[in-house]
Chains A and B, each alone.
Chain A
Amino acid sequence: GAGVSQTPSNKVTEKGKYVELRCDPISGHTALYWYRQSLGQGPEFLIYFQGTGAADDSGLPNDRFFAVRPEGSVSTLKIQRTERGDSAVYLCASSLSGLRLGTEQFFGPGTRLTVL
């Protein structure tokens, strides 16, 4: 039934490696969001999907970051050539619709990424 789930919960990688972070939204939620949260900061918007398409990817910091949602459900955030500055908690959220007034976002527990 569940809420938003994210895997893995923790990921440690070496500088320069490629990582994939997965998000399973609440069933039936058409909108999906990725955020990045650094220590002591609020979440920072990365990208928003409405269905299968990225409606707004203006928060992605550079072209090393990419996200997909091929079937309009599960999403994967992909980071190439990781850098130490990518270390953060990556949060995923979903909502019934991104466009309807009053829609709430429901967050997953996050993936803590550590780049050594």
Chain B
Amino acid sequence: KQEVTQIPAALSVPEGENLVLNCSFTDSAIYNLQWFRQDPGKGLTSLLLIQSSQREQTSGRLNASLDKSSGRSTLYIAASQPGDSATYLCAVRKYSGGYQKVTFGTGTKLQVIP
């Protein structure tokens, strides 16, 4: 059974700092990995999707990397802003025999202090 762990569970940083969020998964036979942010009381907003054949994806101040063999992904946020405060979730997708399994981590709650 796939297990997805996110460390740390919570993080508080001053505005302007660069930071890294971690996601690890136990079954490396994944199809893709997706990073989301979730604001309180809201649904999930997709940030980046990395296919299993890719090493990284970038969007603006965000960079996500994937090391499938070691079961790890990182989300790097450059020059953090108070608007980045949210919970960040990673999700891995496994595809097998026509069935899909999407497993989420428990998230990292980020607070960026002005």
Contact = CB atoms under 8 A, between A and B. Distances in A.
B104 A56 contact: no
Contacts of A44: 104
Q: How large is the interface on B (under 10, 10 to 19, 20 to 34, 35 or more residues)?
A: 20 to 34
Contacts of B45: 107
Interface string B17-48: 00000000000000110101000001111100
Contact of A43 (B31, B44, B99): B44
Contacts of B31: 101
A102 B4 CA distance: 19
Contacts, number: 62
Contacts of A25: none
A58 B46 CA distance: 24
B100 interface: yes
A104 B95 contact: no
B16 to A, nearest CB: 28
B20 to A, nearest CB: 19
Given A42-B4, A42-B107, A45-B103, A102 B51 contact: yes
Nearest to A4: B43
Interface of B: 4, 6, 31-32, 34, 36, 42-46, 49, 51, 89, 91, 95, 98-107
